[in-house]
Structure 1
């Protein structure tokens, strides 16, 4: 598959406007998002661990948006690629600008990952339900993500393979009424992502790309770099 033919639909899909309306907060044009993802299996069993460490800034190299550490116990169904997880995450959220105010969140989540095939590509579906506790409030959230990788110089994503990584994830709020009488929107956010990746080995990959993050409060582009590690 010709590389230029792959880039054209990618640019069409992800070449969206980064402008923000005057009614929204005046943000720096680009933020930064840096992630380490890990996946571990206990020997030859169906049990394992996965998780991530994320740092996201309102600017490419600073101004904390959030810092998240998450890990979960996983179980893969025998003779299947369907995987379930139960886990916990801890997040710290900052505010735009020099103000030092922060909010801490404790998060419990359950998820299911399920692959499917279409036109020779493997698509990965992720369904996640989150219970979020912060500042005396409880909120829940539903997430659905569609992920797929397109190998460029090999038929499969093996060692020494360049690839395109694409995904879209939709976030929907559960409880909309807050205890203080406030209300949150039904739509929480959407993330559209495209990146160029390289597999150093079958178990270690790096991706560099950009994400359009659309929330009820802002709409912006974010530079992203991520490491993906299986061990």
Structure 2
């Protein structure tokens, strides 16, 4: 746990240091993801992301997502219907604006394991109700987790995590953005883990980096 605390401290310090450089494009995202079993087949998804232009304090976006999923096979092939509330505060011509978006989404997640490689495919369709517009978007993410000090994702295991996600609009322009992510994670126990890493996003021909801290909670609600 001392190593984990040191890792988190390094990432937080990096984000805080960047907050003093107002012209820097490096932001920071602090994220919580919950995926909790309601029954053998049903799960409750809950998620909060606090995104900043700098280390902390200059809000870029607050994202809250929730949904109900169903496993088509045992602990895999999950289909989910969800809702998202997104509060954005972008800078427009040097002035900060506020936008609110309501989002309905449908997704399918399938997982595979090859040796010590844990693969995940996520397909997501979003209906985006913006303040002055309605748009639809498709997203595909390919993620990979690789345990380092164990062959399995067991408690007290460090692991590497990478993913690539592409966003495509169903209307023009087709390409929306692409995200590439790399992180070091730690399995606290069978239901809890934490990751600290870096994500680069390409949007409108611009690259922007994000330091990320993510906490994952899979504690089941059912007694079994």
Identify the TM-score tier after normalising by the shorter chain.
Answer: 0.7 to 0.9
Q: Mean alpha-carbon deviation: is it higher for 107-116 or for 72-81? A: 72-81
Correspondent of 1:189 among 174, 177, 191: 177
Instruction: Tell me what 1:135 maps to.
Output: 131
Correspondent of 1:110 among 103, 106, 112: 106
Give secondary structure in 1 for the equivalent of 2:186. Answer: strand
8 A Cα contact 2:51 2:60, kept in partner: yes
- Cα deviation digits, residues 81-138 of structure 1 (max 9, x gap): 1000000000011113873420000000000001134464121000000000011310
Q: TM-score, normalised by structure 2?
A: 0.83
- Cα deviation digits, residues 5-28 of structure 1 (max 9, x gap): xxxxxxxxxxxxxxxxxxxxx952
Give secondary structure in 2 for the equivalent of 1:62. Answer: coil
Q: Mean alpha-carbon deviation: is it higher for 118-127 or for 137-146? A: 118-127
8 A Cα contact 1:27 1:58, kept in partner: no
- 1:191–1:203 Cα change, 3 Å: same
Aligned residues: 197
- 1:186–1:42 Cα change, 3 Å: same
Moved over 4 A (4+): none
Instruction: Tell me what 2:147 maps to.
Output: 151
C-alpha root-mean-square deviation of aligned residues, in Å?
1.8
Q: What 5-or-longer segments of structure 2 have no aligned partner?
A: 1-21, 220-224
Q: TM-score, normalised by structure 1?
A: 0.80
Shift of 1:79: 3.6
